Structure 1
Amino acid sequence: MSRAERHRQLMEHAWRLIREEGTDALTLARLGEVAGVTKPLVYDHFETRTGLLASLYRKYDLRQISLMDEALQAGTPDLLSRATVIAAAYVGCVLEQGREISGVIAALAGSPELEALRWECEAIFMERCRIALSPFAGERPLSTAGLRAMLGAAEALSCAAARGEISAAEAEEELSGMIVAVVSRRGSDVR
């Protein structure tokens, strides 16, 4: 098995381990057991549990950004369409990954290195949203506060959908409406 194939296999086993046993059960030694490989081989790929969690989050984040970018390029260039694309990409990626992403996100808050990674990924996502939505915000640029509000709503609604509290359609509809409201408010603000 090539290094890339082994890495992909270990990542798949890590997601399954989180899904079945929870994030706390995810250690490099346990991952080696589940994957049927030696502990040194797992350490060769990730070095630390923090490195493994970072790899899982990066893979998730890259997928989310990729889905959103592809859909924005293919979509209609109007505010509601862009808001709908952003909402569907965010909610869809969380649901595709399942409830285990919330455990990884919670673990990211546990160390300064992982917290920095999360903030970096959030900044990239917010900047993509700023670029996609700015043409509809009027003369005033979208604020970081507004983008943070969108991101917070996206996380909360996606997690609620992943837990089955609300449907994916409800999460997407509420999020797209919230995005439209934030952007529209910026365009109609009086100085």
Structure 2
Amino acid sequence: MSKPHSRIRLSREQRYEQLVETAWKIIHEEGTEALTLGHLAEQSGVTKPVVYDHFTNRSGLFASLYQEFDNRQTALMDDAIQKTKPELELLASVIATSYIECVLLQGREMPSVIAALAGTPELEKIRNDYAVIFTEKCRKIFAPFCHDKSIHDAALWAMLGSAEGLSYATTCSAITADQAKGELFSVIISMVQRSYYQPDNAMP
């Protein structure tokens, strides 16, 4: 007669990863409204205090999901960049492709997470932190192709706005992934090309 399986004790990091994975599954199958800390505990086979210890409250849970998505997106993009030759069009293509594909990888769940966090300080902080990281990454990548080795802040933020808008339109099926990638590629190339002749105070 076989012995019953003993319950595996997970490390804090392993438990966090399990909770995050289960939370994404709940959102995918039941929607964001169903994702409460109590339901997450039930689906993960743990007590409520365990979940509260990791996330404190529901906003903290959604903030963690957003952060996990950003970390994953950054890692995938950095890996793609490292494998790309330092040429403008190749780098623009890999940035555009990586950005759109990372959003699609999470499907429709990501806009739902953002909507659930709308207006919370957690969302504002995470989005601002990621925006700074992404724009500075692009500044470092594309500055060598500019006449003065720099890109204006306004241009970088305009590019980020385009990336976010195109990603949202893709997840809503308003446009195709290829259209989004192509348009974002064009925005990046245009951003770099305009740096050749547009002074700091120039108007379009």
TM-score by length of structure 2 reads 0.86
More helix per residue: 1
1:188 corresponding residue in structure 2 = 197
The question of 1:112 aligning with 2:121 is answered yes
User: Is this contact kept in 2: 1:17–1:25, CA < 8 A?
Assistant: yes
User: Is this contact kept in 2: 1:136–1:187, CA < 8 A?
Assistant: no
Q: How does 1:1-191 map to 2 (within 5 A)?
A: 1-2=9-10, 3-139=12-148, 141-190=150-199
Q: Higher relative contact order at CA 8 Å, sep ≥6: structure 1 or structure 2?
A: 1
Give the share of equivalent positions with the same residue, in percent. 50
- The alpha-carbon deviation at position 176 of structure 1 amounts to 0.7
Aligned residues: 191
Q: 1:87 is paired with a residue of what secondary structure? A: helix
- The alpha-carbon deviation at position 131 of structure 1 amounts to 0.6
* Aligned residue identity for 1:187: Y
- Quick one: distance in 1 between partners of 2:93 and 2:160? 14
Q: CA RMSD in A?
A: 1.7
TM-score by length of structure 1 reads 0.91
User: Is this contact kept in 2: 1:75–1:81, CA < 8 A?
Assistant: yes
After alignment, is 57-66 or 23-32 more displaced? 23-32
* Aligned residue identity for 1:30: H
- The alpha-carbon deviation at position 134 of structure 1 amounts to 0.8
* Aligned residue identity for 2:107: G
Instruction: Mark the CA change 1:101 to 1:168 in structure 2 (over 3 Å): closer, same or farther.
Output: same
- Quick one: distance in 2 between partners of 1:79 and 1:186? 13
- Quick one: distance in 2 between partners of 1:144 and 1:35? 44
- Quick one: distance in 1 between partners of 2:46 and 2:137? 39
- The alpha-carbon deviation at position 77 of structure 1 amounts to 1.0
Unaligned residue ranges in structure 2 (runs of 5+): 1-8
Return structure 1 stretches of 4+ with deviation > 6 angstroms. none
Q: Which has the larger radius of gyration?
A: 2
1:66-111 Cα deviation digits (max 9, x unpaired): 1111111110211111111111111111011111111222333321
